[in-house]
Amino acid sequence: MQKKIFDACVAAAKERKAKRKVKAKVLWGKTIKIGPLNREIVTLLGLRDKKLNGPLCRIHEKDVSAISHYGGLAYHILSQGEYPLMRLVPENVVWACRGANIDERFHRARYAGKFGKHRLIFGEEKMDRLEIMARDFERNPMLSPSKLSKKEKISMRDKLWTEVHGFATEAA
């Protein structure tokens, strides 16, 4: 029985992978891996905010190592699940602890919306700006950095890398 379920899961995963491959082909004319590059950019955007605004978790205003043994990572103010077009927007990514990431995912209503934590923490002006940007991208997706070509994303990643680490990537 267990084996049957496992096999079904593997088959489903294979099918999803095949679908992604087809989609990537349609998008880019050839099969490329988009995911890892996006993740690299998001990680660097988190580190960039840490460098610009200090090492404290932006949600709890505490040392990330003191409040979460998992450490810190990139945190999306407008969630990347609900707003995929806001995923690579530098202003939308801050440095926070893993606990904040998890809590936001499970209690989104406490963070988002007119009376949520995000407006208290980041201010009305920034939140209005992000929400307007998200609406603009919905109307005109090609304006979003999520829609950059692979080449442009590589260039974005390399620029961020240099900004965060103070030296160029080996590939650049």
Binding residues for Zn ion (CB under 5 A): 57, 59-60, 97, 100
Amino acid at 59: I
Considering the complex, what minimum distance in angstroms separates the CB of residue 133 from Zn ion? 24
CA-wise closest residue to 104 among 58, 38, 150, 65: 58
- Contact present, 74 and 111 (Cβ < 8 Å): no
Nearer CB in complex with Zn ion: 73/85: 73
Nearer CB in complex with Zn ion: 97/156: 97
Considering the complex, what minimum distance in angstroms separates the CB of residue 66 from Zn ion? 10
Tokens standing for residue 161: 């890398």
CA distances from 64 to 11, 58, 158 (A): 40, 9, 26
CA-wise closest residue to 42 among 102, 70, 99, 84: 84
Considering the complex, what minimum distance in angstroms separates the CB of residue 17 from Zn ion? 34
Q: How many whole angstroms separate alpha carbon 102 and alpha carbon 144?
A: 26
- Contact present, 162 and 172 (Cβ < 8 Å): yes
Considering the complex, what minimum distance in angstroms separates the CB of residue 56 from Zn ion? 8
Nearer CB in complex with Zn ion: 97/133: 97
Nearer CB in complex with Zn ion: 57/73: 57
Considering the complex, what minimum distance in angstroms separates the CB of residue 108 from Zn ion? 16
Nearer CB in complex with Zn ion: 108/147: 108
Tokens standing for residue 81: 């699940």
